[in-house]
Amino acid sequence: VLTHATIAHITAEPVSCDLQAKGAIAIDMGKIAWCGGMIELPDAYRNWPTENLEDRLVTPALIDCHSHIVFGGNRASEFEMRLEGASYQEISRAGGGIVSTVKATRAASEEALLADALTRVDALIREGVATLEIKSGYGLDVETELKMLRVARRIGQVRNIHVRTSFLGAHTVPPEYSGRGDDYLDQVCIPALRLAAEAGLADAVDGFCEDIAFSPAQIALVFDVARQIGLPVKLHAEQLSNLGGAKLAAQYGALSADHLEYLDEDGVQVMAEENMIAVLLPGAFYTLRETQLPPIDLFRKYRVPMAVATDCNPGSSPLASLLIAMNMACTLFRLTPDEALAGVTVNAARALGIAGRGNIAPGMQADLAIWNAAHPSELSYRIGFNCLHRRIWSGT
């Protein structure tokens, strides 16, 4: 039994966060058995072992619902080139861009990919993250896509973290299929998806719908297969232009559409009707120095729940801090700190289609974050300061 806790109860739509002072949380077999005020603690728990939290804030453990955290190499030299004024084309000619990550990921052993990813995963764990979504999408050949997903699964085995995987074969067209996106989908992406599903390596199917990646019609080919094999879908949509990706995703009952800077009101309405989650990725917005803001007021107006994630990846969002993503969501997108917290807990769980995580209530998994803080706004307010006291994963 955790005692003297300041418990954050988060409700979604509209978001609010109610604090309960002098709270207690009883944990049994990895789950929350009871929570409420200390004085109301049922007699049954009164002689259980206790831990006095000295009025610290307790939130659900954090959930990062969108990451590309498994990849080979890094793109620091490209970062430098960009700062020296190199254009996208010049970087591309020098072997940079996503192609360089694909090359490095293909060349890396499973062990090397795992060891490298764990350095970033551990940074998230230190911030109280207990559930992490990980995408494939830097292999773009059958074997490497499966290798990435195996590494993602292994992360969940070697660390105390709940991992959800997304197959992202439709990330970009690899150089060997340049100008032949349909052939790539037909010969590589879809066969790899079927194999990943057979091997139990994919929990969901994702795609990148953009001029520089795949058209809505091409994404539909992949989503048709996802539907056949019974996997939920989600989509990188409306990041750089409005191609109607979120609407397409809605037709497939998608869990979420992600990025969404260029989404229009029509698209927001469709997302609301289909109960989709809007996943906001301020790290990419920041890194790319974008200026088009996602339609936050429209998400509020139509009650589309918003999640916030790191989008941790080597190119557009080399961010391994969910706390900084929360700060960026507030400062850049004007989310309230309560919305940011809901975005990395209850709404992030919904974006992953998982029940039983993301809130503090009886029956939920006892994944908790205990902070050296008095109020949830402190989590979003500080930059580069981690006030986690202790993380509880499945009750311990």
Binding site for Zn ion (CB under 5 A): 311
* Residue nearer to Zn ion on the CB measure, 7 or 235: 235
* Residue nearer to Zn ion on the CB measure, 53 or 173: 173
* Residue nearer to Zn ion on the CB measure, 260 or 341: 260
Sequence-separated (6 or more) residues with CB below 8 Å from residue 295: 260, 263, 264, 265, 268
Shortest Å, Cβ 315 to Zn ion: 10
From its phi and psi, is residue 101 left (phi > 0), alpha (psi between -120 and 50) or beta? alpha
Q: What separation in angstroms does the CA of 210 have from each of 43, 116, 133, 152, 262?
A: 58, 29, 22, 26, 11
Shortest Å, Cβ 236 to Zn ion: 5
Give the nearest residue (CB) to Zn ion.
311
Shortest Å, Cβ 300 to Zn ion: 23
Which helix (H) or strand (E) segment holds residue 8: the answer is: strand 2-11
Q: How far apart are CA 137 and CA 173, in angstroms?
A: 10
Shortest Å, Cβ 333 to Zn ion: 16
Q: How far apart are CA 77 and CA 89, in angstroms?
A: 15
* Residue nearer to Zn ion on the CB measure, 10 or 284: 284
Shortest Å, Cβ 10 to Zn ion: 25
Shortest Å, Cβ 170 to Zn ion: 12
Which helix (H) or strand (E) segment holds residue 223: the answer is: helix 216-229
Shortest Å, Cβ 269 to Zn ion: 24
* Residue nearer to Zn ion on the CB measure, 280 or 392: 280
* Residue nearer to Zn ion on the CB measure, 223 or 371: 223
* Residue nearer to Zn ion on the CB measure, 116 or 311: 311
* Residue nearer to Zn ion on the CB measure, 238 or 311: 311
How many Cα atoms are found within 13 Å in the side-chain-facing hemisphere of 95? 6
Backbone angles phi, psi at 258, to 5 degrees: -125, 145
Sequence-separated (6 or more) residues with CB below 8 Å from residue 297: none
Strands of 191-263, DSSP E:
204-207, 234-237, 256-259
Shortest Å, Cβ 208 to Zn ion: 8
Q: How far apart are CA 300 and CA 188, in angstroms?
A: 40
Shortest Å, Cβ 13 to Zn ion: 25
* Residue nearer to Zn ion on the CB measure, 137 or 216: 137
The answer to whether 163 touches 215, Cβ cutoff 8 Å, is no
The answer to whether 209 touches 243, Cβ cutoff 8 Å, is yes
Which helix (H) or strand (E) segment holds residue 28: the answer is: strand 16-28
Q: What separation in angstroms does the CA of 236 have from each of 77, 104, 293, 368?
A: 26, 23, 16, 29
